[in-house]
Structure 1
């Protein structure tokens, strides 16, 4: 783990950055469930009393880390439908951005795995926060889908859920003979999702 050097005592913002770097290191190596204030204290060279005062508990520390990504999807796929000449062009850009954002963010991948496989009060709260932010985007998606043919929310859930799974699995093996860890594999995924979506567009 890279450690920064500072001239003199660290400022509050420098401590925060070192602490979050330590958490990110643990998450990448062992997963979110392995994050503890004791280990973060050791890695970030921060006294336990400082962490306890700022985060209260291991859960508080994890919450501070995961909250950085509460608006992850909105930040990456919050597109304006009016800026595109057609619904197809909008969804093509949306799908490409969605896949690229998830593929590149190892932090977000770790959070997704943690939320899916650990059933706790903390993971439920984290998942609900992400659901709340996602509802801000859904109306833009839904208005372009012919609701007489399919429930727009269900379509998005199925497509996003499948995308999550194949991208997370892509680091481990091929899936149905396709290597989704490669650019070519992700392009096949994007083209397929767009083809499915086009069948349900308005007009």
Structure 2
């Protein structure tokens, strides 16, 4: 009985392991191409060659090249990391209307994007051409952002502090500062974020802007 069980187990688990191994190879190939060649290198033949896999497996496991790329981007995208635990985060930070969470998200995003070479290329792709896949991913980020704003918006009601506009400027600033520094290595406003001291200045300022924003809203509500 034990021998029969072991034989069945081997034959059923083997294909599953092979499938996951091949899926991972294809996903890793997408990342390597984005990092070294940019999004224009994401053709079916190039991906299959990098993965050392039959290109038919792309369609078998992901249905299309676009869905393979989407799977890769979603597993690497910073904002996707919040998708599963978003309601828990909201509950945990209700006490101060997401003030601490807002700082943490911005600082973590800055640190993540600074190191994530593939995602730097993905953001460049998003802003350089009209693309349905990139639009879907951007829209998914917006949906997640709206969930987080449900936590922060009440703090800013009946004030002239526009938390959404401020967050847009901060997040956009993070993207631009990192892309600028990584593209040509130059400073911005005399700050070099390729150096630890420059990175810390940005982190401190992100926290400071969030602090000012919440304090201003709080003070305005006191005067009502």
TM-score normalised by L of structure 2: 0.74
* Residue of structure 2 equivalent to 1:195: 208
* Matches of 1:83 and 1:22, distance apart in 2: 44
* Matches of 1:60 and 1:95, distance apart in 2: 28
Whether the aligned pair in 1 keeps the contact of 2:44 and 2:65 (CA below 8 Å) is: yes
* C-alpha RMSD over aligned residues: 2.7
* Matches of 1:64 and 1:92, distance apart in 2: 28
1:140 aligns with 2:147: no
Unaligned 5+ residue runs, structure 2? 1-13, 219-224
Whether the aligned pair in 2 keeps the contact of 1:23 and 1:35 (CA below 8 Å) is: yes
Q: Deviations over 1:94-134 (max 9, x none)?
A: 43222112222223222211111121222212211221122
Helix, strand or coil at the partner of 1:136: helix
1:75 aligns with 2:81: yes
Alignment of 1:30-109 (within 5 A): 30-69=37-76, 72-73=78-79, 75=81, 79=89, 80-82=92-94, 89-109=100-120
* Matches of 2:188 and 2:134, distance apart in 1: 27
Following TM superposition, by how much is the alpha carbon of 1:58 offset from its aligned partner in structure 2, in angstroms? 2.8
* Matches of 1:93 and 1:189, distance apart in 2: 13
Unaligned 5+ residue runs, structure 1? 1-7
Whether the aligned pair in 2 keeps the contact of 1:150 and 1:200 (CA below 8 Å) is: yes
| Equivalent of residue 23 in structure 1, options 30, 47, 50 | 30
1:152 aligns with 2:159: no
User: After alignment, is 105-114 or 37-46 more displaced?
Assistant: 105-114
More helix by share: 2
TM-score normalised by L of structure 1: 0.81
1:181 aligns with 2:194: yes
* Residue of structure 1 equivalent to 2:4: none
* Residue of structure 2 equivalent to 1:168: 179
Q: Deviations over 1:170-200 (max 9, x none)?
A: 1122112211122211211122223333232
* Matches of 1:21 and 1:36, distance apart in 2: 14
User: Matched residue pairs, number?
Assistant: 194
Whether the aligned pair in 2 keeps the contact of 1:22 and 1:43 (CA below 8 Å) is: yes
* Matches of 1:141 and 1:89, distance apart in 2: 11
Whether the aligned pair in 1 keeps the contact of 2:34 and 2:118 (CA below 8 Å) is: yes
User: After alignment, is 92-101 or 124-133 more displaced?
Assistant: 92-101
Q: Which has the larger radius of gyration?
A: 2
